[in-house]
Structure 1
């Protein structure tokens, strides 16, 4: 296990872990981990879907929280990031041919790793880009996934001057001009004071240290192609005919002070999605699982109320 993952005293490796690589449908090698719960009785498995430019290591604390609730965890680095295979020559740029590749990887992961080796029932906990992937895959996950919890899903950007359709058109024009693989932004903000992700300095510095110590896990900004495909996925999952095929009970959690994705778009989407409920955590920033305890514990309480069987362990939060 330790051969595949990077941990430290500030970010300890959770117990009961197994890790390695699995082959995606097109042969790409994707790094994964699965963790058995430490608490008993065992109550199922949570599939964690990361956001853009995230890695398994960033979720060690959350995995420990789930483990203390009797829930196992299955997680993998998305294609093109973390320690999974990169997709273009410049490996620092975020790229994907299609968001359906992400959804296909989730299906392959479920068949190859989760079903054979992880105890059901199965749940999804997904953040930002990962939440968009979960929604895209949702029609194929019916009767497999009991419930989904989606944190600050990427459904729009806060700058309302540009609609998703407009952004897609601009990205398409750039791609047709041969610029699909250029990076939209190359600036990497490392200062806590200027970050838009979390108000918690300890978790911010812990996560920054992962990339500082292991720079091969880091990405710079997304490419034009990535942005175009993200917009395409957002428009698809927002289509009423597609939404009618989503039958998994879903809790959507928005962050009241989010400046990365559009909270307004999240609220609008949740109003039209069947079997869904919305919670907005006032004052929280984008990365709810990396936020200060005041905000993070509000989410965990909502999680306990929504995911069956986890309520008994609410007092066993990992430190």
Structure 2
């Protein structure tokens, strides 16, 4: 399928010069957006940056700056139902997907763009949060990457002791009352970063990065997304359970987990990584969910470690770099 130019908000991305985006149709006729920042000179390869729920290409401008400066071309994507990709419900504020495995159709479209744009090889992938679940299935099924990395991957969703039974009950009852496409009770259809002040946020300890997120959505509110649908939640819980039953691939892997993680299930990450062949878990002291958007003294060494992983394929050595 052909691709065509798409909007790219360079005014707020803060990434390397020359970023561009394209529209591409998936096999089930959903339009998604794919963005690329190209490295110049001696290019080491390309990094596919697969974002989390509510996220969008421009949010990864700083990540692209870090990776491009180390010699990697960077690709990112607006998954179906978020960013500028097609929203899937009448209320565009609700995050939704029909089946969680539909995101694999988005990956297939992304790889077509990567091939058509002749992204330099070898390819590597970073999966963040929801993108970590999407990426895990993709590498299990043979996505053509040389190494993989994860930050705060959604291999399970964190529920407080009070919310866990309520969430299960909601997922069971909502379809019976025609509410599967509604957001769960107590959640908001507004953007988290616009509604939550920096103090008390669960994403990052870096006020500058948090302000960047707020500024991006203030300038381009069409990128914003609120709570997920109850159906999305049910699909996500089911996918996490399905993935937990499968072995990790024999692929070099670094996974980062903030010790103050409050969004995804820390136990699910700690359960998988000791059994990942050529994999290694790095726990970031006091880190929140967005390890790549933590303070400069945290994220700088992380990008150095990722560079080492991508260059050598040795996750344990990379973690000590």
Correspondence for 1:86: 87
1:19 aligns with 2:21: yes
Distance 1:299 1:178 in 2: 45
Q: 1:190 to 1:167 in 2, by over 3 A?
A: closer
Correspondence for 2:198: 192
Correspondence for 1:308: 311
Distance 1:261 1:232 in 2: 14
Contact 2:67-2:303 within 8 A present in 1 as well: no
Contact 1:30-1:79 within 8 A present in 2 as well: yes
Which structure 2 residues correspond to residues 32-47 of structure 1 after superposition, within 5 A? 32-38=34-40, 40-47=41-48
Distance 2:313 2:38 in 1: 15
> How many angstroms does 1:2 deviate by?
9.7
1:243 aligns with 2:247: yes
Distance 1:28 1:217 in 2: 17
> How many angstroms does 1:171 deviate by?
1.2
SS at 2:178's partner residue? helix
Correspondence for 2:287: 284
Deviates further, 301-310 or 133-142: 301-310
> How many angstroms does 1:89 deviate by?
0.3
1:172 aligns with 2:172: yes
Correspondence for 2:265: 262
Distance 2:106 2:215 in 1: 28
Q: 1:150 to 1:260 in 2, by over 3 A?
A: same
Distance 2:205 2:295 in 1: 6
> How many angstroms does 1:227 deviate by?
0.5
Distance 2:279 2:312 in 1: 19
> How many angstroms does 1:310 deviate by?
10
5+ residue gaps, structure 1: 315-319
1:114 aligns with 2:114: yes
Correspondence for 1:317: none
What is the RMSD of the two structures over their aligned residues, measured on CA atoms? 2.5
Distance 2:27 2:168 in 1: 27
- Once the two structures are superposed, what CA deviation does each residue of 1:69-93 show, in whole Å capped at 9, x if it has no partner? 1110111101000011100100110
> Scaled by the length of structure 2, what TM-score is found?
0.87
- What count of residue pairs does the alignment treat as equivalent? 305
> How many angstroms does 1:247 deviate by?
2.9
SS at 2:161's partner residue? coil
> How many angstroms does 1:167 deviate by?
4.8
Q: 1:7 to 1:285 in 2, by over 3 A?
A: same
> Scaled by the length of structure 1, what TM-score is found?
0.88
5+ residue gaps, structure 2: none
Distance 1:235 1:169 in 2: 17
Distance 1:199 1:304 in 2: 23
Contact 2:34-2:77 within 8 A present in 1 as well: yes
